[in-house]
C-alpha cells in the first residue's frame, strides 16, 4: 500500500481518483473522515453539555442508567469501550519507523478511554461497583463456596454502600460482573429459576452442574431421586455432578435428612441473606 | 440567568396558572441570549418560559427567588419590559440553561405586547405569596426525569449519525475508495474508540501495545512493589484491581485495561510480571519471586502437618485461599504433593511415591 507521499505521480493519481469518484457522485473516504472529525468535535461539546446537566442523574438513578445503556446498545455504541476494542494497525505497518510514529500518534491523540467514560463517568460507576462486588464475594466465599444469588449480592452491596444505598440495581451488578470476567478469576453468571447465581471462583461448572443448580433453586437442596426424575439421568451421572459440587465447596451433604441424602446449596439459603458480614470475613476480603 | 432550572413545564398539584403571554424574550441582565421567542407563564408558584420553536426547551424560576420587579416602558423599536431582580441561586439548585451568571437580574421583553397585564398579575402574586400556603410536591424541584430522557434521546440521535458515518467510511476503506493513508486509518480508529463504536474494519483485538498501557504498566510497577512484598511476592489480579482502584478513587481502571497493562510488564522489563495458572487464575508476581521455590517450603509445611487442605494451608501461611490452592496445585504438578479428592474436600499429602521409592 502506498503512502500518500510527495511526487508528481502520486498527486496526479490522487487527482484522478478524486475526479473519478466525484463524477459518480461518491464522496471520498477522506472527505468523510474530515466530516467525521468535525462532527466528533461537535458531539463532544453536546456530550459535555449533557454531562453538565445530567451526570448526576446517571450516577444516582438506576432507571436512567438502564435507559442510557439500552440506547447505546441500540445505536451500536459501547459506553464502556476500552482500548482492547481497538484493532491492530494494518499489516503494512511493520516498518519500525512507522511503529514509532504510530505510538507517538496514539500518545498525542488517544486518551485510552471513550468520551462516555471521560465525561459521564460511566466507567467509574461500574468499575467501583466491581470492587464492591469482589469484596462481598470474597467475604462470603467460605460460607457459600463462591456461589451467591444475585439477590444476596445486591443486598450486601447495598449495605456496603451505606446512605446512598438505593442507587444500584441488579442490572448494574450484572453489567459490572460481565466486565470483571476479564480478570480471570472465574466470574460467571448462571441463570437459575427467575434469578441468577453469581460465581466468583474458578470452579469448573459445565452444563450438567448448572442444570442441577437450577433444580436446587426451588428448595435450596436437591436429591439424587429428584435429579433422576426431573432430568431423566442415570444415578451415576447425578452422583458425579453432586460430588463435584461438594468438592468445590458449593454444596453441603446432609446425611441425616429424612429419606435420602440432601445436597444443600448454601448460596440458596434465604435466611443467610440478612446476616452481616463479620469483621473476620471482611478482613479476608480486603487486600 | 443562572437561577433558571430545566422543567417539563407541567404544573404541579396545588399550582395554578395565572396568566400566560406569547412572544416573550429573555435577557440575561442587559445581554440578549438565545431564548428569544417563547411563551411566558405565570403560576402561583413559578415563572415558566417555554421556547416557541422547541417545545422541549422549558425552564422556570420560583417566585420565591424574586426580590422585586420593575417596569421598563416601550420605546421606539423597543418592546416593553419587566425587570426581575433575583436572590442568589441556592447551592443545590437543579440544572438549568446557565451554570453561572454575573447578573442578578433578568429582563422579560414583551414583543407581542401584554406587558402591562402581566406585570399587574405578577405584582399581585408577589404580594399574595400564595406559594407559601400551597406547598407543592418535591418533584417540582427535582422534575428532571422527563427532561433528562429527552436530552438523552437527542444526544443519541447525534451519536447514531456518527455511527452511520463511521460505517460508511469503514465500507469505503474496505472497498478502497479513495486514497486513505495509514495516518488517516489510525485517526479513524481513534474516532471509533472515542465513540465506543466497535471497529468494523478489522475485529482483531489489540491486546497490549499502546502508549496508554505502557504508561499504565509503569505506574502499576510503582504502586504494587510494596504491597507485593507485604504479601509474599504474589497477588491475584482481583486483589490488584481492588487495591489500585481503591487508591485511585476516580478515573478508575477497567478490568481490561488492567489486564492489558499487566501483559506488558515483562516486555517493559519491569520488576513484576503477569502469570496465568492452568486454572485461568491470573496473578502478579515480583520478578524476584519464584513460585517454584515457594513450592519447596509448601512441601515442608504440608509434611509437618501430615496433610493440608487449601484453606488450612492458607491460614497457616497467611495467604488468600485462592493463591494457596494454586501453590498446592503447582506443587502437585511438580510431583511433590498428592491429592485426596473426596467429598470432605481436597486434601494434599506429600508425595511419598517420589520420596520413598
Question: B6-15 pLDDT, tens per residue?
Answer: 887 777 767 7
Say if A239 is an interface residue toward chain B (CB within 8 Å).
no
Q: Which helix (H) or strand (E) holds A106?
A: helix A96-109
Mean pLDDT, range A22-48, rounded to an integer: 81
Cα-Cα-Cα-Cα torsion A220, A225, A230, A234, nearest 10 degrees, comes to 130
Other Cβ atoms less than 10 A from the Cβ of A269: the count is 17
Query: How high is the pLDDT of residue B226?
Result: 92
Pairwise CB contact (< 8 Å): A64 & B193: no
Mean pLDDT, range B303-311, rounded to an integer: 91
Query: How high is the pLDDT of residue A117?
Result: 84
To the nearest 5 percent, what fractions of chain B are helix, strand and coil? 40, 25, 35
B31 pairs with which residues across the strands? B28
Which of A29-43, B53-67, B169-183 bottoms out in mean pLDDT, i.e. has the lowest?
A: B169-183
Cell, residue B344: 470432605
- Is pLDDT at B137 greater than 60 in this prediction? no
Please check whether residue B4 is in contact with residue B91, taking contact to mean a CB–CB distance below 8 angstroms. no
A168 pairs with which residues across the strands? none
Pairwise CB contact (< 8 Å): A79 & B235: no
- The band of A102, judged by pLDDT with boundaries at 50, 70 and 90, is very low
Q: Rounded distance, CA B174 to CA B177, Å?
A: 8
Query: How high is the pLDDT of residue B181?
Result: 75
- The band of A98, judged by pLDDT with boundaries at 50, 70 and 90, is very low
R_g of chain B computed on alpha carbons = 34
Instruction: Please write the tens of the pLDDT for every residue from A217-232.
Output: 888 899 999 999 999 9
Backbone angles phi, psi at B100, to 5 degrees: -150, 160
Exposed, middle or buried, B272 (CB in 10 Å: 0-12/13-18/19+)? buried
Ramachandran region, residue B249 (left: φ > 0; alpha: ψ -120 to 50; beta: rest): left
Which of A141-155, B171-185, B280-294 bottoms out in mean pLDDT, i.e. has the lowest?
A: B171-185
Pairwise CB contact (< 8 Å): A182 & B245: no
Sequence-separated (6 or more) residues with CB below 8 Å from residue A155: A273, A274
Mean pLDDT, range B286-308, rounded to an integer: 89
Query: How high is the pLDDT of residue A143?
Result: 83
- Is pLDDT at B122 greater than 90 in this prediction? yes
DSSP secondary structure code for residue A251 in this structure: -
Q: Rounded distance, CA A162 to CA A169, Å?
A: 15
Please check whether residue A286 is in contact with residue B246, taking contact to mean a CB–CB distance below 8 angstroms. no
More confident residue, A24 or A189: A189
Pairwise CB contact (< 8 Å): B237 & A107: no
Say if A102 is an interface residue toward chain B (CB within 8 Å).
yes
Q: Which residues from chain A sit within 8 angstroms of residue B260, using beta carbons?
A: 82-84
Tell how far CA A197 is from the center of its chain.
15
Query: How high is the pLDDT of residue B140?
Result: 40
Q: Which residues from chain B sit within 8 angstroms of residue A123, using beta carbons?
A: 252, 254
Please check whether residue A37 is in contact with residue A27, taking contact to mean a CB–CB distance below 8 angstroms. no
Residue of B216, B251, B276 with shortest CB distance to A124: B251
- The band of B206, judged by pLDDT with boundaries at 50, 70 and 90, is very low
- The band of A104, judged by pLDDT with boundaries at 50, 70 and 90, is very low
Nearest residue to A186 (alpha-carbon basis) of A201, A207, A206, A204: A201
Residue of B196, B203, B341 with shortest CB distance to A77: B196
ipTM over 0.90: no
A263 pairs with which residues across the strands? A222, A253
The shortest C-alpha distance from A88 to chain B (Å) reads: 5
Name the 3-class secondary structure at B206: coil
- Is pLDDT at A180 greater than 80 in this prediction? yes
Q: Which residues of A225-260 are buried (b: 16+ CB within 10 A; e: fewer)?
A: ebbeeeeebeeeebeebbbbbbbbbbbbbeeeeeee
Q: Rounded distance, CA B118 to CA B305, Å?
A: 91
Ramachandran region, residue B114 (left: φ > 0; alpha: ψ -120 to 50; beta: rest): left
The shortest C-alpha distance from A50 to chain B (Å) reads: 7
Mean pLDDT, range B78-105, rounded to an integer: 86
Instruction: Please write the tens of the pLDDT for every residue from B254-266.
Output: 998 899 899 989 8
* CA angle B185–B186–B187, rounded 5-degree value: 90
Amino acid at each position: 500500500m502506498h503512502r500518500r507521499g510527495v511526487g508528481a505521480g502520486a498527486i496526479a493519481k490522487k487527482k484522478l481518483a478524486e475526479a473519478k469518484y466525484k463524477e459518480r457522485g461518491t464522496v471520498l473516504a477522506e472527505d468523510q473522515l474530515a466530516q467525521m472529525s468535525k462532527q466528533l468535535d461537535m458531539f463532544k461539546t453536546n456530550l459535555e453539555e449533557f454531562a453538565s446537566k445530567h451526570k448526576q442523574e446517571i450516577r444516582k438513578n438506576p432507571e436512567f442508567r438502564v435507559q442510557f445503556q439500552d440506547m447505546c446498545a441500540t445505536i451500536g455504541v459501547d459506553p464502556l469501550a476500552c482500548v482492547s476494542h481497538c484493532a491492530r494497525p494494518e499489516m503494512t505497518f511493520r516498518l519500525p519507523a512507522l511503529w514509532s510514529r504510530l505510538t507517538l500518534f496514539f500518545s498525542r491523540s488517544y486518551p485510552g478511554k471513550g468520551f462516555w467514560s471521560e465525561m459521564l463517568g460511566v466507567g467509574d460507576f461500574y468499575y467501583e461497583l466491581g470492587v464492591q462486588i469482589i469484596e462481598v464475594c470474597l467475604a462470603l466465599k467460605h460460607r457459600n463456596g463462591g456461589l451467591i444469588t444475585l439477590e444476596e449480592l445486591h443486598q450486601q452491596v447495598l449495605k456496603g454502600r451505606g446512605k446512598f444505598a438505593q442507587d444500584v440495581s441488579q442490572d448494574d451488578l450484572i453489567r459490572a460482573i460481565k466486565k470483571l470476567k476479564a480478570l480471570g478469576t472465574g466470574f460467571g453468571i448462571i441463570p437459575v429459576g427467575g434469578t441468577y447465581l453469581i460465581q466468583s471462583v474458578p470452579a469448573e461448572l459445565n452444563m450438567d452442574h448448572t442444570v442441577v443448580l437450577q433444580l436446587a433453586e426451588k428448595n435450596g437442596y436437591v436429591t439424587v431421586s429428584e435429579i433422576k426424575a426431573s432430568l431423566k439421568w442415570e444415578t451415576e451421572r447425578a452422583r458425579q455432578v453432586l460430588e463435584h459440587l461438594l468438592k468445590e465447596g458449593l454444596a453441603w451433604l446432609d446425611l441425616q435428612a429424612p429419606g435420602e441424602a440432601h445436597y444443600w446449596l448454601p448460596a440458596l439459603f434465604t435466611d443467610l441473606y440478612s446476616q452481616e458480614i463479620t469483621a473476620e470475613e471482611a478482613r479476608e476480603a480486603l487486600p | 440567568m443562572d437561577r433558571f432550572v430545566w422543567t417539563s413545564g407541567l404544573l404541579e398539584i396545588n399550582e395554578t396558572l395565572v396568566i400566560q403571554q406569547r412572544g416573550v424574550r429573555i435577557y440575561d441582565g442587559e445581554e440578549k441570549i438565545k431564548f428569544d421567542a417563547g411563551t411566558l407563564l405565570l403560576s402561583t408558584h413559578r415563572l415558566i418560559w417555554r421556547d416557541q420553536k422547541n417545545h422541549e426547551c422549558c425552564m422556570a424560576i420560583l417566585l420565591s427567588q424574586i426580590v422585586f420587579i420593575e417596569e421598563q416602558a416601550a420605546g421606539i423599536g423597543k418592546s416593553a419590559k419587566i425587570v426581575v431582580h433575583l436572590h442568589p441561586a441556592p447551592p443545590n439548585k437543579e440544572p438549568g440553561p446557565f451554570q453561572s451568571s454575573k447578573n442578578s437580574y433578568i429582563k422579560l421583553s414583551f414583543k407581542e405586547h401584554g406587558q402591562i397585564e402581566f406585570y399587574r398579575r405578577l405584582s399581585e402574586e408577589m404580594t399574595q405569596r400564595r406559594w407559601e400556603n400551597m406547598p407543592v410536591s418535591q418533584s417540582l424541584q427535582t422534575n428532571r426525569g422527563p427532561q433528562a430522557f429527552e436530552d438523552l434521546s437527542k444526544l443519541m440521535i447525534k451519536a447514531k449519525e456518527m455511527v452511520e458515518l463511521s460505517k460508511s467510511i469503514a465500507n469505503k476503506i474496505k472497498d478502497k475508495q479513495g486514497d486513505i493513508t495509514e495516518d488517516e486509518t489510525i485517526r479513524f480508529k481513534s474516532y471509533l474508540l472515542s465513540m465506543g463504536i466497535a471497529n468494523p474494519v478489522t475485529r482483531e483485538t489489540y491486546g497490549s501495545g499502546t502508549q496508554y498501557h505502557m504508561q499504565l504498566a509503569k505506574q502499576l510497577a510503582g504502586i504494587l512493589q510494596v504491597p507485593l512484598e507485604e504479601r509474599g511476592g504474589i497477588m491475584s489480579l482481583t486483589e490488584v484491581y481492588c487495591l489500585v482502584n481503591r487508591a485511585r478513587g476516580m478515573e478508575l481502571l477497567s478490568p481490561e485495561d488492567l489486564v492489558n497493562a499487566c501483559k506488558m510488564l515483562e516486555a517493559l522489563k519491569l520488576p513484576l510480571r503477569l502469570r496465568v495458572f492452568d486454572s485461568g487464575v491470573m496473578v502478579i508476581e515480583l520478578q524476584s519471586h519464584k513460585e517454584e521455590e515457594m513450592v519447596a517450603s509448601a512441601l515442608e509445611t504440608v509434611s509437618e502437618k501430615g496433610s493440608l487442605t487449601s484453606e488450612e494451608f492458607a491460614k497457616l501461611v497467611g495467604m488468600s485461599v485462592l493463591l494457596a490452592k494454586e501453590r498446592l496445585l503447582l506443587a502437585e504438578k511438580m510431583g511433590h504433593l498428592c491429592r485426596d479428592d473426596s467429598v470432605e474436600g481436597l486434601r494434599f499429602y506429600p508425595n511419598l511415591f517420589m520420596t520413598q521409592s
